[in-house]
Amino acid sequence: MMNKHFYFLLLISPFLAAACTGIKAQGPVLKSPAPKVAQAKEKAKQKKPSFQAPQTLGGAVSSDSWIVYPEKEQEEFKGNVYYDNGVYTFRSDYALSDRKNSTFSASGHVYIKQAPPQGPVYEAQADNGWYNYATSKGELKANKNQFVRLKYTDTDRVTTHAQARRADFNVNAQTYNLYKNVTIRRPTEYGLATVTADKLSVRQADEYALLEGNTKVTTPNHTFTAQTMEFDGKNNRSYAYGSRVLGQGKMEEGTFAIIADRAELENESRKISFKGKVAGWIVSDQINKAEVNEKF
């Protein structure tokens, strides 16, 4: 079902959970590049700190520069920020861990990947991102003229690509949104399917996705345009409506172009019903090739 192709937005929270709960190193203010982290930790053990330092991520996250601000309960990573535990991978140019506000933010060539053994692979690229591990809310953003890029490769090695200017999500509520110039591409048995819209909203628990604004679905044989499209996985139905729905393309009986107030699709049977004020035409190739046409 369509919404299952957007689960890659979950990948940022497991990374943070693994990093934030898995580190037990504590120590005073440290200003050292990642290769010297082990030496800094050893010195820290030999000195009793004059403050109660928060748990640090520096033992797991490598970077060119790592600075701990104990009063603020913050850690700052600059240059070639990198984390990899074999399942979760994270990269950026800059990152800030803020324990007091329960946030982790990053900027510059942000890349996140989740690749569990024998499981699907989730990837995300953005210019900026943040995640609040107390509220389970987060956001990915792109700079001007750039895109947040998302990639999902299932266990059959079929890959879905998506992009938008901005994405936000709430892991606890299992809701995800893509904003502005949304494009989704996925191979199907009928060829490459492309979906475009101004906004995509997904409610994972409800198996529901909503496309809003200048919505268009294109396959090699069909094109459907509407203001709004809904994909209801639980009821196995899809709907298109608003600003008169236009469907055109080819089918077994011939070519067609139909405009209507509303279109409904049975997802499994692929049966389409047009409702409201319906107008258009269907041309059969058999009729076009019939001998009767030679008389005209």
Domain assignments of the chain as residue spans, ordered by start: 2-172
Sequence-distant (≥ 6) Cβ neighbours of residue 12 within 8 angstroms? 112, 124, 129, 131, 138, 140
pLDDT at 71: 92
Sign of CA dihedral 108, 135, 116, 23: positive
Helix (H/G/I), strand (E/B), else coil: 207: coil
Per-residue pLDDT of the chain (296 residues; tens, 9 = 90+): 333 333 333 344 444 444 444 333 333 333 434 444 455 445 444 443 333 334 667 678 899 999 999 999 999 999 999 999 889 999 999 999 999 999 999 999 999 999 988 889 999 999 999 999 899 999 999 999 999 999 999 888 999 999 999 999 998 999 999 999 999 999 888 789 999 999 999 998 899 999 999 999 998 888 989 999 999 989 999 999 987 888 888 776 678 888 999 999 887 877 888 898 899 887 876 655 655 455 44
Q: Compute the distance between CA of residue 102 and CA of residue 133 in angstroms, rounded to an integer.
A: 6
- The pLDDT tens digits of the residues spanning 59-78 come to 788 999 999 999 999 999 99
Rg (CA), the chain: 25
Task: Classify residue 271 by burial, with Cβ atoms within 10 Å: 0-12, 13-18, 19+.
Answer: exposed
pTM of the predicted protein model: 0.76
Residue 215 main-chain phi, psi, to 5 deg: -80, 135
- CATH: 2.60.450.10, 1.10.1500.10, 3.40.50.300, 1.20.140.10. Which one for 2-172? 2.60.450.10
CB within 8 A of 52, min separation 6: which ones?
Answer: 70
For residue 68, give the 3-state DSSP assignment.
strand
Fill in the amino acid letter for 48.
Answer: K
**According to the model, what pLDDT value does residue 294 have?**
53
